[in-house]
Structure 1
Amino acid sequence: MRNEGIRRLRPGRFRDGLDASRLRRIALNGLAIAVAVVLPRDTPQLPGVTVLFHVLIALWAVTTVVRHLLAPPWPGAVWSVLLVGGAVCAGTSPQPSGPAFVASAGLFLLTSAVENGVRWIAAATAAGIAAFALAHAAAGGSPDAAVPSLISAVTGGGFGLLARLNGLDRRTERSAAERRAEKAVLEERARIARDIHDVLAHSLGGLVLQLDALEAVSAARGADEEVLVRVRGAREMAADGLVAAKRAVDALRRLPAGIDAALGEIVAGARALGMTVDVELRGEAARVPAPVAEVAASVTVEALTNARKHAPGAPVAVTLETGRDAVLLRVANRLAAPGGPVVPLPSGGHGVAGMRERAQIVGGTLDAGGKDGVWTVECRVPYE
């Protein structure tokens, strides 16, 4: 499933390596066009080479356009074919020193742009240089005329490899910084979990015990039935709050899990409370990032709580669709009949608004409403 129009421009987008790669591809195409105009003029007596060169230029341009559709290592293989074929074309030129600067710039851009291993790039560069030398010798060219081109090619390829290695170093540094930030987040989650457990969970547990005792004493003394109903409702609210607090502590303490495992735990908890919940997973759940999975899990919890409160006993259907760049969550249940029972669960009246805010934090959207007797919560969150 691919949802068009869902990607959003984020701050810093033009400062990352992805845009640098795009700029390099633009430069590669510009270089290809320039060479396509200049080089064939040096080889009028070799029409076959000219045709081959234009075929390579077309393949070059097409590869840069559809590059995102090709899975590794095919882009690197295509680049290698282009490099060797272009070297053959340049080697057959009677004046190979003419395109020497162009070849040097091309090797620099190529070796710094291709997302393959350094060994692969070095091997392709060496093969290109060898192809150039052999083609030049086969065409009867002068060795002295080929020296400047070979020097330029080695220089361009070498600087391209250095740029590639420098990019790998920066990527490693960013990965290390991300790991440090993730560790800090996990430590903060553990601290919050301790605070919730030590304060809120203990307080709610004590409140449940006190309300149990109050109900028993009130019943023994013949208290009014309305008083008993109020006490039981308060006790159930406190018990549900205690369950929610424990769930929050568990979620904060464990490492982020896959969305399929998280939904499994949430649904199991709902079923333990007597709810009828059906779950359907579509797509590859493993591709969902942890922040998106956490939002989907929290929305599921809130939607199930609302279903239990406003439509007790009604079956609930949970559907999760995972696409290439977005996740779509639907939670649907039959609407309760007018005047039907309502479970007195704790609520601040901001359930849907709270879910929508959580979705918007990660660039998502959330819609909720009733139609044809069915209440549906639909949350869509993009990711890359």
Structure 2
Amino acid sequence: MDVPLAQHRPDRPQVRISDPGEVAAALPQLLGFRPQESVVLIGLGGASGGRVGLTVRADLPAPRDRAAAAAQLVRSLRTDRPAAALLAVVSEAPDEVDPWAIGHEADGALVPADELDPWAIGHEADGALVPAAELPHRELVHELVVALSAEHVPVRDALLVRRGRWWSYDCPHPCCLPLAGTPLPGGVSALAAAAVTTGQVVAPDRAALAARLDAPPGARAAMVAACVRTAGERVARLRAVGEAALVEESWTALGEALARCRPGTVPPPAPLSDDDVAWVVWALRDTRVRDRALGLALGADAAAAEALWTECTRRAPAPLDAAPATLLAVSVWLRGDGAMAGIALDRALDGDPDHGLARLLARGLAACLIPADLRELIEQAVAADAPR
């Protein structure tokens, strides 16, 4: 499950979205990538009841898992205490047809679904004419509505998004019949424009978002050699200067690398070498250096720290990638990008399944700990470690 936490980004201008079509079109900006075969819950709140709140996404579950998936999504959304919710299903699944819908044969015979035009007319008890086809995933929508109702969260609308159009599951009008739908708004939405001003780049899908942390092609062998070489150098320095001095040397090397990642530096510094990255990732294996580095996400060097952790995560071999990936998760989480935080934590735990801080943060992300609360926890930790 992804928890993009889009509403908590302090650097994003306030944008109000009221039309369901605008919400459907804004899903990529809310999530950070274009969802496919997904279910999304968007919390609504604020004084007007229309402010976009916590946003959670999951892959469409198998039929046997619908109830459990719905319960998990609603538990996550509920942590933000929404006044209401908006539900969106993103799927290219075909319409669902009653297998024995009543067709309008001359003799009134039952017609099997595979022989039935989706626009064929059935008969309601009151004689009304209805299409035989229905929007897909209606059972999942039902499970979510029931789970939200149990938590006293009203559903503002339930949407299906596919093929550049949107439908409302509750709409009785012809525009929401299965073969109709309403085109998604064209042009650049207000939320998309706001995202551009904050530098957000929407990925084509979640896999493309994760690929931003892939290692540079053909660079793995040289990076491994640099890490082996650096390990020997650190052992020699430990024997020469002692543990406390090595911690300070490690912090100094990290600071030098950080300075080279500051945006807007003129002239642009030389890229970090394999040896530079190796020194940083080995330094972060020391929890004293790593915990001190947590505070970098809080201050003026937050952007430089995110760039440094990204570079180190991409290039470091496992398990040395676990610490920078964990720090990257903190950096992006604090600016509201929960989807990327989840990807970074997955990378950290792939590299080192026993990494304590990564496991702790993964539990916090699953519980929808909001950025403001995470910031407070880090501030407390940094204050506790500060020299007195």
Give the TM-score, by structure 1 length.
0.27
Q: Higher RCO, 1 or 2 (CA under 8 Å, sep at least 6)?
A: 2
Q: Which of the two has greater helix per residue? A: 1
